[in-house]
Structure 1
Amino acid sequence: MADFRKLRVMISSRCASTVRRGDSRVSMTVVRTRLKRELEAESLCGERLFEVWISDNAPDQSQGDLETAWEKSLEEVRKADIVLVLYTGEAGWAPARGLGVCHAEFQQAWNDGPARLKVVRIGDVGTAPKDAAELKRDQAFQAYFDDLNPTSPAASDVDAIVARSREALREAVAGLVKLGGREARKGRFAYGAPLDWSRLDFGHRKKAMEDALGGGLAEFGAVESSGGWLWPLGETSLLTICHGLPGGFGVAAAREMVGQPFLHDHLFLARALGEREAPAGPLHLVACLKGITESQAMRQLGFPDATIVAAPFGVYVSDPVQKIQMIFLANCRDLTTTRNALCRLAEWLNATGEAANLARRALGRRRVVQAILDVQGD
């Protein structure tokens, strides 16, 4: 039997700040210590599940070696499977003119992958008087945090903090298991469904890829419309056009089957307008049989002056002037890998807050395309 490795949990927070416990107040060190004890007592099928790390903040600082303590904290963030941030709005101590350690830990965890970052917002926090440098670090952390605005429950006393933290850890474990399960189901491309798709000619493979995308969008609440899907993003109904690129991006015959579909946005929108109120968009969602680079996505757009982001699902392309948006999903070899890429896109949109930006740009694209339709009507 393989060795069982516990999940590493890193708890990031201020130590000296105080919170309510009944009629008295205790330091966050007491909360962190209780969380560590309770989490490490949890078991799964007879085995302890978590290994929890909390910093020995006071000894680190008393030794005067802040740089070493700083690097140790960031190393623990990188090693952790899950990072639990107990957010009080305080950036924490810092080496000379650096970010506060809590700010740096949060930033490291976010940049490494928001899926393993969980946050509990702490209210009614008691703090010691601070100098101007500490206040400036706190303001920088709060501005950074508010800009990202991660989804997070709130708590104001010890029992509530522990309860919300346990719920956040449970949600994180479930999410990571689902993500790992989807990755495991990918399998090899020379067997099963990927092999079946490889046997298809370009036309039938393109159709299979587009059907897989449509089925995946339906799982997110999208409704089929003429020539596309109406994908609900918040309050916005987004006209999403599915495309399949049935060969490698370097194969001209496959690439030309997708071309520059945004040149026909007025036709896509006109068909949708015949059925219902004007949706936002269009957005073009392209399933790519193999990988795709930023340079390849840029060439497909046709000009370099655009927002081009390489992400876990593939490449996201947005033109800030014409509001053209294309999303390329990489390695869509069969139904499972295509749905997996779409799920990773949805997770990225939610984790980064980019869903709201995508919807806003889609509303702008509708106005651009509507103007084209109005001119044609004249």
Structure 2
Amino acid sequence: MADVRMAIKKELEELKLYGMQVFKVWVHENEAVESGDKKAWDLCIDHAKQADIFLMLYNGNAGWAGTLEQHPDQLGICHAELAAAYGKAASKVRSIQLPLCGEENEPNRRFRDYVKRQQILGPQVQTGEDAIKKAGDIAVAALLSLARAGVCVASKGSFYTGEALEWTRLDFQGRRKVTTEAVAKFLGERHGVKPAQARPTTVVVPLAGGQIAFVCDCIPSALTTAAARELVGQPFLRDHVLCAALPEGVGPVHLIACQKGVTETQALRQLGFPDAIAVTAPFGVYVADPVQKIQMVFIANCRDETTTLGQLQRFLQWLEQEGEDRRLAVRAGARRRIADLIAKEQ
């Protein structure tokens, strides 16, 4: 596939209109000449969003899905790139359909289901040579179509189709339920165990040689909407009750899926005081109180299942890449001990 992508890049960049180059093509094989200020995953997602035309060579393989040996992530990079491009402007997405290949694992299954659900069609080809021949026709047709419609106008329609629209049609409680269940299911599939006595959206996950409990919830609208924000409130105030139903020594981390964006100021306001650790990242905002050991993770832009899982996966990968998983686990353990002392006083 790398050879096919590079050949298509060469073919498209050689197309001229009155002596002027028509297409500038980015493929991930170009990463060697990119700056080092972004991780490979974020770089690919950014290019998928920024591209005027997104051409997918589809063979059913979801691509790299993180550190699969340590954590069986459920979203491949090809899936995440497609979701980013489709969410930005569905009209810019085109595909070439190759024969399906790759093992029947969970990332591939999710990817194939997503493509089928979005009804992303394209010409069927059997070989890489056929794909290279089709690429020029598809790119030119897409260019003409977008030129007529206006790519800027097309880009305004984020999250107005498909599953994102279905989630938007729900009321606050319905959206909160479906989002929280999606998050809890994803964590459970990463070898998590749902505690029998705790609420079903609390998932115990192995992390950094120990275990922590992700307490999942959802703010089903913008954080500026008080009615949506107050559904979650400050859940850590009940940690002493929650911990009684958790395995011995397992501490809580509150994972809040937000339907729309979240700022550092909003996250700290939800925590209740500004003097805390706050990290703003592509996945959202992570806040931690170094004294009371309260931890809250706000996952931004959870509009449908794919964007929710993609954002959540970025958070989990960030934990591992930056070594923050150990600190998070230590704080969670300390929070458990604090909660146990409060429970005794109660």
If the TM-score is normalised by the length of the shorter chain, which range does it land in? 0.5 to 0.7
Separation (CA, whole Å) in 2 of partners of 1:171 and 1:330: 20
Call closer, same or farther: CA 1:305–1:49 in 2, change over 3 Å. Answer: farther
Quote the sequence identity (%). 42
Q: Deviations over 1:9-38 (max 9, x none)?
A: xxxxxxxxxxxxxxxxxxxxxxxxxxxxxx
* Aligned partner of residue 212 in structure 2, secondary structure: strand
Cα-to-partner distance string for 1:227-249 (whole Å, 9 max, x where unaligned): 21101113211111100101110
Distance 1:239 1:43 in 2: 41
> Could you tell me how far 1:330 is from its partner in structure 2?
0.3
Letter in 1 for 2:3: L
Name the SS of the counterpart of 1:223 in structure 2. coil
Q: Relative to 1, partners in 2 of residues 1:216 and 1:83: Cα closer, same or farther, differing over 3 Å?
A: farther
1:45 aligns with 2:4: yes
Distance 1:185 1:214, change over 3 A: farther
Offset, 1:212: 0.9
Match of 2:209 among 235, 249, 259: 235
The DSSP-based 3-state class of the residue aligned with 1:287 is: strand
Distance 1:82 1:269, change over 3 A: farther
- CA separation in 2, counterparts of 1:200 and 1:116? 30
Equivalent-residue separation in structure 2 for 1:375 and 1:171 (angstroms): 46
Determine the structure 2 residue equivalent to 1:296: 266
Query: CA 1:171/1:284 → structure 2, altered by over 3 Å: closer, same or farther?
Result: closer
SS class of match (1:239): strand
- Corresponding residue of 2:130: none
Instruction: Provide the C-alpha distance between the structure 2 equivalents of 1:329 and 1:369, rounded to a whole number of angstroms.
Output: 25
- TM-score relative to the length of structure 1: 0.55
Report what 1:361 is aligned to. 331
Residue 27 of structure 1: aligned partner: none
Q: 2:194 aligns with which of 224, 229, 235?
A: 224
Query: What's the offset of the Cα at 1:356?
Result: 1.1
Contact kept in structure 2, 1:247 and 1:290, CA below 8 Å: yes
Q: How does 1:265-284 map to 2 (within 5 A)?
A: 265-272=239-246, 277-284=247-254
Distance 1:83 1:232 in 2: 37
Aligned counterparts, 1:91-130, within 5 A: 109=36, 111-113=37-39, 115=41
Distance (whole Å) between structure 1 residues aligned to residue 206 and residue 190 of structure 2: 8
Taking a change above 3 Å as real, the CA distance of residues 279 and 182 of structure 1, as seen in their structure-2 partners, is farther
Pick the structure with more strand per residue: 1
Change (3 A) 1:321 1:200: same
AA matched with 2:308: T
Amino acid of the structure 2 residue aligned with 1:241: V
CA deviation string 1:253-308 (max 9, x = no partner): 00000000000111111122xxxx31432100000010000000010001000000
Instruction: State the partner residue of 1:190.
Output: 160
Structure having the higher Rg: 1
1:374 aligns with 2:344: yes
Alignment of 1:1-378 (within 5 A): 44-45=3-4, 47=6, 81-82=31-32, 109=36, 111-113=37-39, 115=41, 177=78, 179-184=80-85, 186=87, 188-225=158-195, 226-227=198-199, 228-272=202-246, 277-376=247-346
Amino acid at match of 1:308: A
Classify 1:49/1:316 alpha carbon distance in 2 versus 1 (closer, same or farther; 3 Å): farther
Cα distance change on mapping 1:196 and 1:50 into 2, 3 Å: closer
Which whole-Å CA distance do the structure 2 matches of 1:243 and 1:249 have between them? 14
In structure 2, C-alpha distance between the alignment counterparts of 1:233 and 1:224, rounded to whole Å: 15
Deviation at 1:178, TM superposition (A): 5.2
| Closer/same/farther in 2, CA of residues 185 and 336 from structure 1, 3 Å limit | farther
Q: Deviations over 1:138-194 (max 9, x none)?
A: xxxxxxxxxxxxxxxxxxxxxxxxxxxxxxxx999x975454244345463111111
RMSD: 2.9
Q: Any conservation in 1 of the 2:302–2:308 contact (CA below 8 Å)?
A: yes
Q: Who is 1:5 aligned against?
A: none
Partner AA of 2:240 in structure 1: H
Please state how far the C-alpha of 1:44 moved relative to its aligned partner. 1.6
